[in-house]
């Protein structure tokens, strides 16, 4: 079955840039989405179609997808960005979520 | 404002059945495919099942295929998940989300979830 692998954790200082990777076989041939989930809350879509932001998502969130890796980048990271992040793609009629990355803002 | 409100969760013994519901409002329900996603305690997100706008196309994760059935009633703006032969590993928060199979737009709205606990 298809797998999407993310680093378990990423640490970033306030104001710096955080990059979260998502690796899967030929992921660049699919569309990748990214979700943010804060403790006790439901996930929120922050990126769709590899690099597009839904209404209301700050511009500091951006995405890219090429080859076997999709990347979520958070520029000028703020304390409120501390959360779990999940990538997601579709593979043959099955939605696959990544393993998840905990972003800590130190 | 889009709202998705799940109900029907609870404590159930292994082998039992449960039916989850998701009441949708704030958008034209039958314009969208819908999906169930679950999250076990301290675990990541796991896709469970999706259904297209009119219910004639459904997809399931291998882990629930043959045990769970997704359905919808567009007249009632409601999504359902019938869960049979429940196992301990089905214990999770179950979220309904707006989004269709293969959709590039992602799951753009989520409910708060309903907790299903399978335990003897």
pLDDT in tens, B75-115: 999 999 999 999 999 999 999 999 988 778 899 999 999 99
Residues of chain A neighbouring B110 (CB-CB closer than 8 A)? 42-44
The verdict on A44 touching B (C-beta cutoff 8 Å) is yes
Confidence at residue B38, expressed as pLDDT on a 0 to 100 scale: 98
Confidence at residue B104, expressed as pLDDT on a 0 to 100 scale: 85
Average pLDDT (B11-29) is 98
Nearest residue, CB atoms, A42 vs list B59, B62, B110: B110
Q: Over the stretch B29-71, which tens digit does the pLDDT of each residue have? A: 999 999 999 999 999 999 999 999 999 999 999 999 999 999 9
Q: Contact at 8 Å (CB) between B5 and B96?
A: no
Q: Six-digit token pair at B81?
A: 């998940």
Give the whole-angstrom CA distance, residue B82 versus residue A68.
Answer: 36
Q: Which residue has the tokens 């709205």?
A: B109
Instruction: Look at A43 and B95 and tell me if their CB atoms are within 8 Å.
Output: yes
Q: Contact at 8 Å (CB) between A104 and A9?
A: yes
Residues of B with CB under 8 A from a CB of A: 35, 37, 44-47, 50, 59, 61-62, 95, 101-108, 110-113
Q: Which residue has the tokens 């700050």?
A: A58
A74 φ, ψ to 5°?
A: -115, 110
B74 φ, ψ to 5°?
A: -65, -25
Confidence at residue B101, expressed as pLDDT on a 0 to 100 scale: 80
Confidence at residue B28, expressed as pLDDT on a 0 to 100 scale: 97
User: Is the pLDDT confidence value at A51 over 90?
Assistant: yes
The verdict on A33 touching B (C-beta cutoff 8 Å) is yes
> Mean pLDDT score of chain A, rounded to an integer?
97
B29 φ, ψ to 5°?
A: -55, -45
**CA B100 → CA A4, A36, B50, B57, B93, distances in Å?**
20, 19, 6, 10, 20
């Amino acid at each position: 079955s298809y797998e999407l692998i993310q680093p378990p954790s990423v640490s970033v200082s306030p104001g710096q840039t955080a990059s979260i990777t998502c690796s899967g076989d030929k992921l660049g041939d699919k569309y990748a989405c990214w979700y943010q989930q804060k403790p006790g809350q439901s996930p929120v879509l922050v990126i769709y179609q590899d690099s597009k932001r839904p209404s209301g998502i700050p511009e500091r969130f951006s995405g890219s997808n090429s080859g076997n890796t999709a990347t979520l980048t958070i520029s000028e990271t703020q304390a409120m960005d501390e959360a779990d992040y999940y990538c997601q793609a579709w593979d043959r009629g099955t939605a696959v979520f990544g393993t998840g990355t905990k972003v800590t803002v130190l | 404002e889009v709202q998705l409100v799940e109900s029907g969760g609870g404590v159930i013994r292994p082998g039992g059945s449960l039916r989850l519901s998701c009441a949708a409002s704030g958008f034209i329900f039958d314009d969208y495919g819908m999906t169930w996603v679950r999250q076990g305690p301290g675990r990541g997100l796991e896709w469970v099942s999706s259904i297209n706008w009119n219910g004639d196309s459904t997809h399931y994760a291998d882990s629930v295929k043959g045990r769970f059935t997704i359905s919808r009633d567009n007249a009632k703006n409601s999504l359902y998940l019938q869960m049979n032969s429940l196992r301990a590993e089905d214990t999770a928060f179950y979220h309904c989300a707006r989004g269709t199979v293969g959709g590039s737009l992602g799951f753009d709205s989520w409910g708060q979830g309903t907790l299903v606990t399978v335990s003897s």
